[in-house]
Amino acid sequence: MVSETSAVGGTAALEPPKRRIDPIELLGRFAPVIFLVVLAAIFTSQQPAFASETNFWFLLRQNFVYGILAVGMTFVILTGGIDLSVGSVVAFAGMVAAAVAKGSNWRDVGNPDPGGSAVLLAVLAAIAVGAGAGLIHGFCVAKLKVPAFVVTLGGLAAWRGATQVMSQGTPINRFSDDYRFWGSGWILGDRVPVPVAIFAAFVIVGYLVLRFTTYGRSIYAVGGNPEAARLSGLNTTGLIMSVYVISGFCAGLSGFLLTSRLGAAEVVAGQGYELIVIAAVVIGGTSLFGGEGSVLGTLVGTLLIGVLYSGLAINNVNPYYQPIIIGVIVVLSVYLDQLAKRRRRA
């Protein structure tokens, strides 16, 4: 006969152990949100105007290009890849869009574009350039098996060079109101900037695709274990190519929007954007090794970088320090992510 004590002990032994709350794991998961809230609170305490509605829209208008590019970069990094070419593609796509809008006299800087359908053609041209660049990168990575770092590093140089050849060192400016509307206009009773609305649409679509579609789940599968994904019947080659096309699409449209926002297409447009965009994705919790992350995390990472830049500028911090701070935050974010994963496995 089993004693009552042993029976009770046996029942207790069958109960699953209660999982303790691990502060390191929580910090690894929610570090971006925590950093964002803390930074916003600090800057608001120093400059109350930082929390105003005006500054909020200004912050989003200053960072919408980074945000759109970061959505596309999230798809690439989820597969374990990287795209270092986005800044150069932005510049080349913007130059092509400006030239198409102006027509045959695009080198005559004194004449604005005619507006109307010319702007639509400019948008389509920019998107085609970006998606085409992404297709080339994806083909080299997925079909030719060239490392993504090497392919997109080459793209960074090649597309920047193509921009220089096309422009001959001369910017294209003087655009119509129709052209400028997409980068500087407002909608909903002049309350929401047009580029911010476009950025929000990209975030929503990107989230829905990754969260609720078979394609999105396949992206995570490829990033988690490419060989297992291939053996399970997924077209890993096509999936990898597709994410670079998405990144290129985002870069192409961003090139047009940036040109519209600034009122000029320049050779130096987009320089250094790849670092900021990758930082936003990584800070937002997307693993550089693939298979883990989300567009909502990327949104938080983009906002965090925007808040940091804006707050430092308001407090008259030397801008030379900003890349140093971003670099430290990136390394710290990756470290916390890896530490949290090791704790979960243990």
CA distances from 177 to 119, 227, 309 (A): 10, 51, 29
Q: Using CA atoms, how far apart are residues 103 and 112, in angstroms rounded to an integer?
A: 10
Q: Using CA atoms, how far apart are residues 346 and 344, in angstroms rounded to an integer?
A: 5
pLDDT at 23: 66
Mean pLDDT of 34-41: 86
pLDDT at 298: 95
Residues paired with residue 124 on neighbouring β-strands, in sequence order: none
User: Which ranges of 79-116 would DSSP assign to H, the alpha helix?
Assistant: 86-102
CA distances from 90 to 99, 130, 159, 229 (A): 14, 8, 9, 32
pLDDT at 228: 93
pLDDT at 1: 47
Specify the fold of 30-41+52-345. Answer: ABC transporter involved in vitamin B12 uptake, BtuC (1.10.3470)
Question: Sorting pLDDT into bands at 50, 70 and 90, what band is 5?
Answer: very low
pLDDT at 287: 87
pLDDT at 21: 62
Structure tokens at 299: 């949104």
For residue 12, pLDDT beyond 50: no
pLDDT at 19: 56
Q: For residue 243, which phi and psi values (nearest 5 degrees)?
A: -70, -30
Q: Using CA atoms, how far apart are residues 94 and 253, in angstroms rounded to an integer?
A: 8
What is the per-residue pLDDT across 54-82, written as a single tens digit (0 to 9) for each? 888 888 999 999 999 999 999 999 999 99
Q: Using CA atoms, how far apart are residues 248 and 134, in angstroms rounded to an integer?
A: 4
Mean pLDDT of 159-187: 91
In 247-270, which positions are buried (b, 16+ CB within 10 angstroms) versus exposed (e)? bbbbbbbbbbbbbbbbebbbbebb
Q: Using CA atoms, how far apart are residues 228 and 221, in angstroms rounded to an integer?
A: 8
CB 80 within 8 A of CB 289: yes
Mean pLDDT of 96-118: 83
What is the per-residue pLDDT across 212-264, written as a single tens digit (0 to 9) for each? 999 999 999 999 999 999 999 999 999 999 999 999 999 999 999 999 999 99
Please state the separation of Cα 156 from the chain's center in Å. 16
For residue 86, pLDDT beyond 50: yes
Structure tokens at 145: 């098996």
pLDDT at 55: 84
Mean pLDDT of 102-130: 86
Q: What share of the chain is helix, strand, coil (3-state, %, to 5)?
A: 75, 0, 25
pLDDT at 334: 74
As a whole-number percent, the residues of the chain with pLDDT over 70 amount to 88
Ordered by start, the domain boundaries in the chain are 30-41+52-345
Angle at which helix 236-262 crosses helix 214-224, to 10 degrees, equals 110
* Dihedral sign of CA atoms 105, 108, 113, 118 in order: positive
Mean pLDDT for the chain? 87
3-class DSSP assignment, residue 192 = strand
CB 96 within 8 A of CB 172: no
pLDDT at 16: 54
Q: Using CA atoms, how far apart are residues 287 and 219, in angstroms rounded to an integer?
A: 13
pLDDT at 320: 82
As a whole-number percent, the residues of the chain with pLDDT over 90 amount to 56
Tell me the range of 3-17, 34-48, 199-213 where mean pLDDT is highest.
199-213
Report which of residues 83 and 313 the model is more confident about. 83
